[in-house]
Structure 1
């Protein structure tokens, strides 16, 4: 009987009916909560598409909320094989993705959909691709513009930031906050709620999406919509994990990489930005707006100086194409629609 079963299995393999006895499991790490729309509508949706396209030969296990690796270690987790796939913000590893972080500068990103188009295009055109040579990028995208949110202090001008302890989203944004008199603090997004609740900080810089996803609207009363920064995000795969797949399964990964998923992520973040702002309005918060900070008498000076300081620092590091990439990002800002088509 055993020999008969074995002969049947061998015949099935020869006929192409049996491809693999076991599915390949890919472990994905990220920092967003499991129940969040970001996890469900982007990462879980991506996983389900991959599982479907591979006819069950690939399975994706998702580890949300930093349960497999901390946010500031997630990229290295893919390099070192701790995770097969990581989604993280480049700003958590200061200085590692300097050209990518140009997209974070003031005046470039006006919506997450637009930012996703800008960042993914820069990657596909080769301007920033070299920064990811140690992994295999799936897709890149951005948050919407990050604004300033505080518990007890109403902010209208840079002078209002004097001595306030503000969580910075990245080193670049932190330098701009410091130039305006704030005391920037660095910490991963999941740690912000407790720190704000305990009075460790006075406020933070966040897009509306994150204010809702991480429940920070519950703790803040004042908001200034000054679009001086946007977070960049990468979804990337361990090169070793990719290479151990069969050519057919590599094709599945390739087909689920690139602009399609960049724009999908941007659309999810745009919807969450709108919902986050509506939540703050509904609870009666005070919201002020600076529509064009680069043309505002109070904000233009420090933001333009912050941009210049960053570009000069990149040139000092020998990145002579920094200004070219900055100019290309501005061109793409005008080519990529603010609203998804």
Structure 2
């Protein structure tokens, strides 16, 4: 009898162990930011939070610095299952996400938290079909993108003429509208390109000076806030993997996503301050624009917004409605 009892208990224990193992879900997360960057640390902490709140049912293996998929491959990598979750830049897939591209327009952003809230509001309002091949977790966006140069200071719009600056997506259009020549490249490529003189600087937020050490290779910053743009980042999950999660786990992840939207936005602003300090501590110089010069810059980038409306209309979308909602949302947050 004792033997039967021992055997029975062994079977029960094995059964429970098998059930526990079956419930454990392993996912992979790809991100191009280096592990030391605050945005990478937030992505990794999101993974740990998911594991914690699902009581270990979901475990996520995190791959920073483009070690699983590169920045430009990240979205398709999620669609194709090369990674289960991906975090990268929408602008690296130019023309693919027309609705969210409105967020990146040079609307005069003042903070990363503002831009982040705008990006998620635009998605929630229009739920673009372009994202139907993934499960969107959330979006976030950096603080005002400004002009940085390595050799030639830009104090007025005429100084932009002939400058080759790193820029992607809508920021490339900003460079062109201001008289410069945009050169497309991912952020990991930019440091050496500036250092070697391939480009004379770039358009990016203040945080990049420390986060990507760009403050070591540039010397000047033009605080062109009236023409400031942002760049929208996505965090998406493979559609099939999402469907495999239980409703309770999905609900838990959605709750975490809402919290991390704010964390990312606040982190962009905190790191902008750190980036500015890093930039200035290198002995670099930052200067602003007076009212007259600001008006010139704002006027120069205005056609970008008008062209966006026309291009989006051709795709069967209401471009003006998207822009109006984006601007209205931004103004309400400011």
Query: How far is 1:299 from its partner?
Result: 0.8
* Aligned alpha-carbon RMSD (Å): 2.1
Residue 215 of structure 1 is matched in structure 2 by 213
Is residue 53 of structure 2 the alignment partner of residue 56 of structure 1?
no
Distance in 1 separating the partners of 2:51 and 2:11: 28
Query: How far is 1:303 from its partner?
Result: 0.9
3-state secondary structure, aligned to 1:145: coil
Query: In the superposition, relative to structure 1, how do residues 247 and 291 fare at CA in structure 2: closer, same or farther (>3 Å)?
Result: farther
Residue 3 of structure 2 is matched in structure 1 by none
3-state secondary structure, aligned to 1:296: helix
Residue 286 of structure 2 is matched in structure 1 by 287
More helix by share: 2
Query: How far is 1:35 from its partner?
Result: 1.6
1:152-231 to structure 2, matched below 5 A, reads 152-170=151-169, 172-227=170-225, 228-231=228-231
Q: Is the 8 A contact 1:149 1:224 kept in 2?
A: yes
Query: In the superposition, relative to structure 1, how do residues 269 and 103 fare at CA in structure 2: closer, same or farther (>3 Å)?
Result: same
Query: In the superposition, relative to structure 1, how do residues 37 and 80 fare at CA in structure 2: closer, same or farther (>3 Å)?
Result: same
Query: How far is 1:4 from its partner?
Result: 4.0
TM-score, normalised relative to structure 2 = 0.92
Residue 10 of structure 2 is matched in structure 1 by 5
Q: Is the 8 A contact 1:113 1:263 kept in 2?
A: yes
TM-score, normalised relative to structure 1 = 0.90
Q: Is the 8 A contact 1:226 1:291 kept in 2?
A: no
Query: In the superposition, relative to structure 1, how do residues 316 and 53 fare at CA in structure 2: closer, same or farther (>3 Å)?
Result: same
3-state secondary structure, aligned to 1:281: helix
Distance in 2 separating the partners of 1:158 and 1:128: 37
Distance in 1 separating the partners of 2:289 and 2:220: 14
Q: Deviations over 1:77-118 (max 9, x none)?
A: 111111110111100000011110101112253211011111
Query: In the superposition, relative to structure 1, how do residues 301 and 247 fare at CA in structure 2: closer, same or farther (>3 Å)?
Result: closer
Residue 256 of structure 2 is matched in structure 1 by 256
Query: In the superposition, relative to structure 1, how do residues 218 and 231 fare at CA in structure 2: closer, same or farther (>3 Å)?
Result: same
Which piece of structure 1 moves more, 52-61 or 102-111?
102-111
> Structure 2: which 5+ residue stretches go unaligned?
1-5
Distance in 2 separating the partners of 1:93 and 1:292: 35
Residue 276 of structure 1 is matched in structure 2 by 275
> Structure 1: which 5+ residue stretches go unaligned?
none
Which piece of structure 1 moves more, 198-207 or 305-314?
305-314
Count of residue pairs brought into register by the alignment:
327
